Amino acid sequence: MPDLSVTLGRLTLRNPVLVASGTFGYAKEMAPFVDFMKLGGVVPKTVTQAPRAGNAPPRTVETASGMLNAIGLDNDGLEHFLSHHLPYLRTLPTAAIGNIAGKTEEEFVAMAARVAESGQGLAGLELNLSCPNVSGGLDFATDPEVTKRIVRRCRDACPNIPLLAKLTPNVTDITLIAKAAADGGADAVSAVNTFVGMAVDWRRRKPILGNVTGGLSGPAIKPLALRAVWRIAKLKAVPIVAIGGIATLDDAMDFLVAGASAVQVGTASFYDPTASVRIAEALPDALRLLGAERVADVVGTLNA
């Protein structure tokens, strides 16, 4: 049996298959469908400092091989997360990785400090530097200097918690941002969040989403995400958690070979809540097929 465990900076996971933020609730919702023991980790929905109501409906629309969403970070705020969701997440037999978004740099740092104080039980913290749905300065990861500074300051604020910087693909050169996150001290980068898009109802001459634009996800974005991951991997600067259209074992293996150390399953969980578990279960055979004894043996082995 190949060794499925993976190490990303200071974070060690039982296996490289996680579920992505915003697509798995706060894990409890998925308990009837998923054996958490079989997952490498779960990333609950992003929390912000203060509760947020999110965007006007409609918030989601199906597209060819994917979906657009403009949820707008609807959540009950960090304190509610710590008091209501974390106690459950702590009981899970898998790594729970918190996910936070600040409205300002200061808010990111204050939230990271609060997690350091009361986030016992979290295996890591993902910084959502990339939500494309909220206006007012949330696209932090479009600027390398800002990315580096936030990661650095959050790392200082919670020195004992492994940090993942979640990047937006809506930039000209994502490798510059990934390098900045690495320089800031990120244990890994999570790449990628959704691609900005829109959908229109021409008969009504109206945009379909309440927010007009939204983030595209699902199998439609896999080739785009794969290229982003492959380019970041060539930096050899930071471990990568690949996200983007991963729904099957083949998708996961494609990303590992292209240079990801782990993967997150997002939209696929909506139409197949067991997709992540089945990928994890199928992984040993795929590794054996490549003659690998551990996951790291296949990471970044693409001949290109």
| Residue recorded with tokens 């609730």 | 25
- Which residue's CB is nearer to ligand FMN, number 95 or number 221? 221
Say how far residue 99 (Cα) sits from the centre of its chain: 8
Q: Is 158 a catalytic residue?
A: no
Query: Which one of the listed residues 127, 131, 243, 280 is annotated catalytic?
Result: 131
- Shortest Cβ distance from residue 255 to ligand FMN (Å)? 11
Structure tokens at 117: 């104080």
Structure tokens at 298: 């296949």
First to last CA, the chain: 29
State how far the Cα of 44 lies from the Cα of 28, in Å rounded to an integer: 10
- Check residue 94 and give left, alpha or beta (phi > 0: left; psi -120 to 50: alpha): beta
- Which residue's CB is nearer to ligand FMN, number 2 or number 44? 44
- Shortest Cβ distance from residue 303 to ligand FMN (Å)? 26
- Which residue's CB is nearer to ligand FMN, number 55 or number 267? 267
- Shortest Cβ distance from residue 292 to ligand FMN (Å)? 24
State how far the Cα of 266 lies from the Cα of 217, in Å rounded to an integer: 8
- Which residue's CB is nearer to ligand FMN, number 11 or number 246? 246
| 106, 110, 112, 118 alpha-carbon torsion, rounded to 10° | -170
- Shortest Cβ distance from residue 141 to ligand FMN (Å)? 11
Residue nearest to ligand FMN (CB): 22
Could you list the residues that contact ligand FMN (CB under 6 A)?
Answer: 20-23, 45-46, 67, 69, 71, 73, 99, 128, 166, 193-194, 217-218, 221, 243-246, 265-268
Catalytically annotated residues: 131
